[in-house]
Amino acid sequence: MAQMGHDKFYICAHDRGARVAHKLCVNHPDMVLKAMFLDIAPTLAMYNRTDFTFAKAYYHWFFLIQPSPFPEDLINSNPEAFMEASMGRQARMKIFNQDCLKSYTEVMKDPAAVHAMCEDYRAAASIDLEEHKEDDHKGRKIQCPIMVLWGQQGIIEKCFDAIEEWKKVSNSTVAGESLDCGHYIPEEAPDALLSHILRFLT
């Protein structure tokens, strides 16, 4: 962002991007004015509170962190099948713009991209957790106001108290609500999301 000429900015991020945004807020509190996180709880909280319901729904968290090249080899053998199993069966795949879905599929056919994806999850279950624990121990928390949105049909609603979990890692205000959708808020509830963005990120 500094290279693009922005010394202060707002963030709205979903899923993996929101996990990066969380760490960005902690490491650079003077740069982030406000942050909006979509359909996640803090990574450490999600691992610490893993139960059968969470593990069954988010099986890929535990599959992708297995040592290379086991998950990579299985995904590369049929990337389309992995995408459908991970992103939703055909009925739910219809929520995605077809051009975007085609791009996602093409990327998933690239073994280097698959390896990078697995490495992201491996980091989330190793060094990222250690850094989260260190931040907690040293009292490093998010300093900017946070808005959290999550899907009523998603796993965050079923397994976590999103507002309370984000309050534990924040020194500022935390607000939010569930929306009438699943995990893919930008695709499933774009109007509601835009309304929240326009009200909060100002």
- Nearest to 31, CA basis, from 56, 3, 59: 3
What are phi and psi for residue 94, nearest 5 degrees?
Answer: -70, -15
- Residue 183 annotated as catalytic: yes
Q: State how far the Cα of 131 lies from the Cα of 123, in Å rounded to an integer.
A: 10
Q: Which residues contact 128 (CB under 8 A, 6 or more apart)?
A: 19, 23, 43
Q: Is 6 a catalytic residue?
A: no
Residue 165 is inside which H or E element, if any? Answer: helix 162-168
Catalytic option among 15, 120, 136, 161: 15
Catalytic residue, from 14, 132, 183, 196: name it.
183
Residues carrying an active site annotation:
15, 183
